[in-house]
Structure 1
Amino acid sequence: MLELTPNALKILRARYLLKDSRGRVIETPEGMFLRVSRHVAGSERLYKGDEKLWTERFYEIMTDLRFLPNSPTLMNAGKELGQLAACFVLPVDDSMKGIFDTLKHAALILQSGGGTGFSFSRLRPKSDIVRSTGGIASGPVSFMKIYNTATEVIKQGGARRGANMGILRVDHPDIIDFIKVKRDTKELANFNISVAVTDAFIRALKRDGYYKLVNPRTKEVVAKIRAREVFKEMVLSAWETGDPGVVFIDRINRANPTPHIGEIESTNPCGEQPLLPYEACVLGSLNLSKYVRDSILSDNPAPWIDFDTLRRDIFTAVRFLDNAIDANKFPLPEIEQMHKGNRKIGLGVMGWADMLVLMGIVYNSKEGFRLARRVMKFIQDTSKEASRELARERGPFPNYKGSVYDKKGGPILRNATTTTIAPTGTLSLIADCSSGIEPIFAIAYKRLILDTEFTEINKYFFQLAKKRGFYSKRLEKAVLKKGTLRDLKGVPQEIKDLFRTALEIPPEDHIEMQASFQKYTDNAVSKTINMPPEATPDDVARAFLLAYEKGCKGVTVFRYGAKKKGTLVRLHDSD
């Protein structure tokens, strides 16, 4: 029996359920899950699989809210549009034709509900020569502004807000302009931006030295600049606005499973999916809160994780995502060729903070970090097993020969990657669980999705308060007003620790959690390093460097109250 919260129903009606020509909803949530299950199970016909059996299994795992695929799959499966992938990366070549061909392609992706990442690093810097006209180039930032305007126009008709990622290498001559562009909050509102930081830059930064800026057109060194100066500007912008984030591009390429096919230049809009030019990825997330048995809320609390059920569900989810690649209608032939060549999927998690609460484990405790590694290692290993099984049934991914797995004793896999940790903003709202691997943002808060506000209240806290006998109407009122338990009388300290919110957790613990999951994730991990309003630029600098030291593939910081409006707001701050 499908049980959905009023918030889940509200978002499904607004964006996911089928509508008639007059905009009236003509589908139930069960109908949506059946439409998706049938469409994705239809791929079984290509491999002589049991379509009916898998329709039932996919339907069961989704209606029990244990697994949900990325939004475009829920929206578009079985429809004429039929575009099921969430993440894309497109190349931006250094010519007028290249720049505007990519913009056209991005428009088609955006229209279908996908988000696109671009690296603008191939574009010649501003004031460089344009041979064909004898004029001078306007540089990457000016073209990003054109992409941003186009996104603004296209997203009006779409079901998701226009999301782009713009990346520039730290050794591009226009890097300072790029770093500063979003200090004006009106600029590039449809872009997240990240600096592609190289190992050479980090080395120069550590010895307080200089590094080279290279013109991508001529490949010539045009200047040497002090790493510390560039880093300082990055830190200041991120402290002020939340942008730019950082991606550690050399580390990402060391983990590239198909270097023979190309080099990774960019990620998707939230940074969790590094992809080759023209590559796409389908993502899905397991709701970890569903696998805790005998939780601290039960009559006989002795919490444990049901790894047997989790294992079965990982096999089902990997099959679902692999099927989705074949069921997908691709917006461009180049993308189809690339996605079917590498068959990348990204299975991740949501409900992590909920799992910890139900287990009685504090988010930023040694035990919490240890469990993160244990759970993610289990998902990583099992997803590889599932991918191996599919390869036996269906053959390995076509670009397998020459990949990092193609060596003596290497695993024969159906998918070049199997794991990714996505932010799951809307999916977690549908599944009624905490998002991605984030801690609880607040006991009560407002979440902004498209232009709709959703009030969310942590269901576990009040259940526990009643069970432990410290609940009162007055307490409820105080908690809803404040959003956190800090300084509240009458709440036991262990409960305050258990419900520690994002802004009460120090940045280094946010990073430790990200690194714990990254250790066993093929692709990358989307995680916000939340900082309180009083955080300093030095705190941001430390976070960037710590993320590098700890093995993260990228990092995004967000200081509460920064210029850029966040999507999560505590109730008492939302007036």
Structure 2
Amino acid sequence: MELGTHSGTTATAPHNASQDDISVDIQPGEFRVIKRNGVVVPFDRTKITVAVTKAFLANEGTQAAGSARVREMGERFTDMVEATYRRRMPSGGTLHIEDIQDQVELVLMRAGEHKTAKGFVLYRAERAEQRASTAHVEELHPSINVKMNDGSTAPLDVGRLRFVVDEATAGLDEVDGDRILDATLRNLYNGVPIKEVSTALVMASRVLVEEEPNYSQVTARLLMDIIRAEALSFMGIADNATHAEMRGHYADALRVYLNTASELELVSPELLTFDLAKLGAAIEADRDLQFGYLGLQTLYDRYFIHSNETRFELPQVFFMRVAMGLSLDEENREDSAIEFYRLLSSFDYMSSTPTLFNAGTLRSQLSSCYLTTIPDDLSDIYGAIRDNALLSKFAGGLGNDWTPVRSLGSRIKGTNGKSQGVVPFLKVANDTAVAVNQGGKRKGAVCAYLESWHLDMEEFLELRKNTGDDRRRTHDMNTANWVPDLFMKRVFQDANWTLFSPSDCPDLHDLVGEAFEARYTEYEARAAAGDLPLHRTIKAADLWRKMLSMLFETGHPWITFKDSCNLRSPQQHVGVIHSSNLCTEITLNTSADEIAVCNLGSVNLKAHVSRDGGLDHDKLKQTVTTAIRMLDNVIDINYYSVPQAKNSNLKHRPIGLGLMGFQDALYEMGYAYGSDDAVRFADQTMEAISYYAIEASSDLAARRGAYQTYKGSLWDQGIFPVDSLDILEKQRGSEYIEVDRSASMDWAPIRAKVAQQGMRNSNVMAIAPTATIANITGVSQSIEPTYQNLYVKSNLSGEFTVVNPYLVNELKARGLWDNVMVNDLKYFDGSVQQIDRIPADLKHLFATAFEVEPRWIVDAASRRQKWLDQAQSLNLYISGVSGKKLDVTYRMAWFRGLKTTYYLRAMGASGTEKSTLKSRATEAPAPVAAPVVAAPPAPKAVASDFELGAGMDVPKACSLDDPDCEACQ
């Protein structure tokens, strides 16, 4: 039966139904089974095996799940039951499910398995009680008939709708099922297609999310009913099923799904070699209830495996498929798969999108990021663009280092002509990213990096402009400045800066710190002497001003810091970091024969805040330890589309464990994002994750061996991420850096462990954006502050109302949540600052991203960065933006020791205040005054107040709800 329909065409056959009782064609020797709802299905002996196995497990305990005896007994008694019917009906026939279960009981009793037989009897009784409790009362609508997929019609079964709504609202406070049902019925009409009935339920619920956040879960559960019907019908398990019935269906669904997907060549046939009965028994159907609407819709639209647009991968089957794919090389695969499944399906940790897309498939490209260096050779340039296409095809995000490519006007030795510079090749790379998207599942994404001394830098800054020669524009590619410390010093000193062609000074590309500074000044002297005619000298502050102006106007290029990345790298003994990745959190070496690869996943920080208001260290350690093993497994299982990536990944084994839900954790703790408490919390949580991640990698090294290039690394020298700040300070100069060095944990045991065992992974931590996986788990993305307290998020899955449940709960507790408040939040774009009914403490706690001063974001990032061996995707939000404010903020990011920054999300002065008109509730007061960001106390600091371009008083950077921002995770 389909959702909301009544069918009078199928009569339930009697218990003793034979082949002649119903008109079903049966081949000689075949059996059919009449289910309790009258549906006739092929006989499946594995269902008997599973039932008997469960009966033995109930008797002997779950610790016997993997024993050969239990498996053997299940098969033996299935043979006995099947043999009974083959003796009675040698030509085949039709059986009723109750008859089969009666025969199972009889066979168990005759074999002397009395306790097991008793367990089976009790199991049947329990299932009968469940069916009785979940059965809906048939209530046919007098005037609405539903058009079925085959063109037939059936009366609308309102009782079925009522039951589905009751199940969706069960256990949730302040939701009204009658309201959803009434709205649904108002939108139905005689002859409505069956699919529109289900959609009407979802639509009736989703519009209520803005009034009560719990409706997001209600909507997800109504969507889940649609998903179940689609998947179970496709697999032939059931035409329909309630959530309660899924507790019995999921084990079968896993087995049938894997067989079906394997036949369709959508998953690896190796998954069929697992003990599917054991894995099916471990699936927890109730975890389907924790989804919010945005998360489940995102999974359905973009992650679930499908055939001809029919999704037949259910949520818990999806998580188990990923877990199985990550445990292929584990010694005890089933136990590991169950461990990984429980971590993923609990939302305590989530793998990155490529891993979720591809784990367990025929092309298990599980890695998130690829970093490449483009050589200064025509064939190598196009070879690198070909590599980009292959890597992007299987859902990899790309970071390209273009610095070696000679500049405009450089001599071409082979033709004695002059080069067109790096920009035309960037145009080709841009168009390649558009042409080869990420497996057809999301847009291809690439970021081009260029060092700030490159002679084409000024043209590079303008790549994203909408004016000028379109042949020298890259409208789809991200860009980033790779800024050496010397440039920043020249900006502070108000000194000159010289641009060179890399064809004249190729060694600058591989030099960092003091070595770069010495060699660069030599080239400047040679240029002044006339030995290097192809150069240009400008004021460093002028170039800095243009960098910031373009960043504000176009959102690019992002500003990243070469020396911080290199001098703090554990792997500086084997190479140079020439760029970051697409989202600026990965800092790995690249060369002609090494394409750096990183494998990402994120801890849900919200799930690790204890009930008494603190970090649950025991749970966090357990989560991180399992997550590190999952990430390390990716390296060996991964499909590599280019050999340089495999070479690099197997040699260094880098991974990037990050976090998400930081803002949610702050709400749980009662800390405002813009506060000293939040900064300390950022410090302490990152320290704990770093502590447990390094320990886990070292323990893996003890079992699996250290990575190949461990000797000579900073790890090998006993220099941990926090210690590497000393290297940066020594080379940069103490007057140019200020970072808090405090710690709250005892690191001596971990240092001793690493000294003895080594490290399994060259790099262990990186904080990625997590835009999509945070949607799935229903938490704030990454380390971001709340964007707005009420807004509509648009992505590739559609539009979704997002309301801050913490704000709603606080307002409810104070008697302030009503329709007027909802309308005020809409009017003020999700901001609470201009609603005078809201108390000052809540205005402080629920300040949105543009209402949090940038210094708080930078300070919290600085505290995290000291514990990270890689970097973090750090968006900067600046309202009332001015040249001086941008100048101070980005100088402070460098001064506080950050390695990279990501998007600038800027709101001009005219966008910071909605209006002085009266709202529905009260007259809006003036915006709350925000503290001014103080300039970093470096010597000779120049904080010039330069003008931004005219007409730039609206947000120009990538929007939070732009699907392009979901490129990494």
Q: Check whether TM > 0.5.
A: yes
- Which position in structure 1 is the counterpart of 2:341? 59
**Which 10-residue stretch deviates more, 457-466 or 96-105?**
457-466
Establish whether residue 96 from structure 1 lines up as the match of residue 378 from structure 2: yes
> Higher strand share goes to which structure?
1
Written as runs of structure 1 = structure 2, the 5 A alignment for 1:481-520 is 481-482=827-828, 483-520=830-867
* Per-residue deviation, 1:451: 7.2
Establish whether residue 563 from structure 1 lines up as the match of residue 939 from structure 2: no
Written as runs of structure 1 = structure 2, the 5 A alignment for 1:373-452 is 373-407=683-717, 411=755, 412-450=758-796, 452=798
Matches of 1:51 and 1:519 in 2, distance apart?
Answer: 37
Change in Cα spacing, 1:310 to 1:354, as seen in structure 2 (3 Å) is same
Matches of 1:452 and 1:102 in 2, distance apart?
Answer: 35
Aligned to 1:183, the other structure's residue is in SS state coil
Matches of 1:518 and 1:192 in 2, distance apart?
Answer: 23
Choose the corresponding residue for 1:128, options 410, 414, 432: 410
Pair member with larger Rg:
2
Runs (5+) with no aligned partner, structure 1: 295-301, 570-575
- Which position in structure 2 is the counterpart of 1:177? 459
Written as runs of structure 1 = structure 2, the 5 A alignment for 1:250-329 is 250-277=563-590, 278-294=595-611, 302-329=612-639
Change in Cα spacing, 1:267 to 1:565, as seen in structure 2 (3 Å) is closer
Aligned to 2:503, the other structure's residue is in SS state coil
* Per-residue deviation, 1:171: 0.6
Choose the corresponding residue for 2:478, options 183, 187, 192: 192
* Per-residue deviation, 1:17: 0.6
- Which position in structure 1 is the counterpart of 2:305? 18
- Which position in structure 2 is the counterpart of 1:216? 502
1:27-64 deviation line (CA, Å, top 9, x unaligned): 112111111101101121xxxx3222211111011111
1:111-154 deviation line (CA, Å, top 9, x unaligned): 11111101110000011111112222111122111100111111
**Residue identity opposite 1:128 in structure 2:** S
Matches of 1:38 and 1:568 in 2, distance apart?
Answer: 32
**Residue identity opposite 1:434 in structure 2:** S
Matches of 1:358 and 1:156 in 2, distance apart?
Answer: 36
1:523-542 deviation line (CA, Å, top 9, x unaligned): 1011110122x311221111
Aligned to 2:300, the other structure's residue is in SS state helix
Aligned to 1:127, the other structure's residue is in SS state strand
1:386-407 deviation line (CA, Å, top 9, x unaligned): 0110000000011112222223
- Which position in structure 2 is the counterpart of 1:231? 544
Choose the corresponding residue for 2:805, options 445, 459, 468: 459
1:266-309 deviation line (CA, Å, top 9, x unaligned): 11111011222201001110111112233xxxxxxx42221111
Runs (5+) with no aligned partner, structure 2: 1-285, 506-522, 528-534, 719-751, 908-953, 963-969
**Residue identity opposite 1:508 in structure 2:** R
Aligned to 2:311, the other structure's residue is in SS state coil
- Which position in structure 2 is the counterpart of 1:115? 397
Change in Cα spacing, 1:451 to 1:101, as seen in structure 2 (3 Å) is farther
**Residue identity opposite 1:485 in structure 2:** V
- Which position in structure 2 is the counterpart of 1:297? none
- Which position in structure 1 is the counterpart of 2:268? none
Matches of 2:886 and 2:486 in 1, distance apart?
Answer: 21
Establish whether residue 348 from structure 1 lines up as the match of residue 658 from structure 2: yes
Contact 1:239–1:537, Cα closer than 8 Å, also in 2: no
**Residue identity opposite 2:460 in structure 1:** F
1:11-38 deviation line (CA, Å, top 9, x unaligned): 1122111011x12212112111111101
**Residue identity opposite 1:516 in structure 2:** R
**Residue identity opposite 1:435 in structure 2:** Q
**Which 10-residue stretch deviates more, 553-562 or 362-371?**
553-562
Aligned to 2:599, the other structure's residue is in SS state strand
Change in Cα spacing, 1:226 to 1:118, as seen in structure 2 (3 Å) is same
Contact 1:161–1:450, Cα closer than 8 Å, also in 2: no
1:83-119 deviation line (CA, Å, top 9, x unaligned): 0001110110101111100000010111111111011
Contact 1:165–1:268, Cα closer than 8 Å, also in 2: yes
Matches of 1:239 and 1:537 in 2, distance apart?
Answer: 9
Aligned length: 556
Aligned to 2:901, the other structure's residue is in SS state strand
TM-score (normalizing by structure 2): 0.56
**Which 10-residue stretch deviates more, 406-415 or 103-112?**
406-415
Establish whether residue 521 from structure 1 lines up as the match of residue 860 from structure 2: no
Contact 1:348–1:419, Cα closer than 8 Å, also in 2: yes
Choose the corresponding residue for 1:145, options 412, 427, 435: 427
Choose the corresponding residue for 2:882, options 532, 536, 558: 536
Contact 2:446–2:582, Cα closer than 8 Å, also in 1: yes
**Which 10-residue stretch deviates more, 77-86 or 185-194?**
185-194
Matches of 1:480 and 1:74 in 2, distance apart?
Answer: 35
Matches of 1:349 and 1:480 in 2, distance apart?
Answer: 30
Matches of 1:206 and 1:497 in 2, distance apart?
Answer: 34
Matches of 1:68 and 1:403 in 2, distance apart?
Answer: 29
TM-score (normalizing by structure 1): 0.93
Contact 1:239–1:536, Cα closer than 8 Å, also in 2: no
Aligned to 2:689, the other structure's residue is in SS state helix
Choose the corresponding residue for 1:366, options 653, 676, 698: 676
- Which position in structure 1 is the counterpart of 2:64? none
**Which 10-residue stretch deviates more, 191-200 or 112-121?**
191-200
- Which position in structure 1 is the counterpart of 2:352? 70
Establish whether residue 205 from structure 1 lines up as the match of residue 491 from structure 2: yes
**Residue identity opposite 1:102 in structure 2:** A
Contact 1:88–1:280, Cα closer than 8 Å, also in 2: yes
Contact 1:242–1:562, Cα closer than 8 Å, also in 2: no
Matches of 2:572 and 2:678 in 1, distance apart?
Answer: 35
Matches of 2:624 and 2:325 in 1, distance apart?
Answer: 20
Contact 2:395–2:439, Cα closer than 8 Å, also in 1: no
* Per-residue deviation, 1:352: 0.4
* Per-residue deviation, 1:158: 2.2
Matches of 1:538 and 1:240 in 2, distance apart?
Answer: 15
Matches of 1:519 and 1:351 in 2, distance apart?
Answer: 20
Matches of 1:416 and 1:481 in 2, distance apart?
Answer: 50
Aligned to 1:563, the other structure's residue is in SS state coil
* Per-residue deviation, 1:464: 2.4
Aligned to 2:391, the other structure's residue is in SS state helix
Matches of 1:232 and 1:539 in 2, distance apart?
Answer: 12
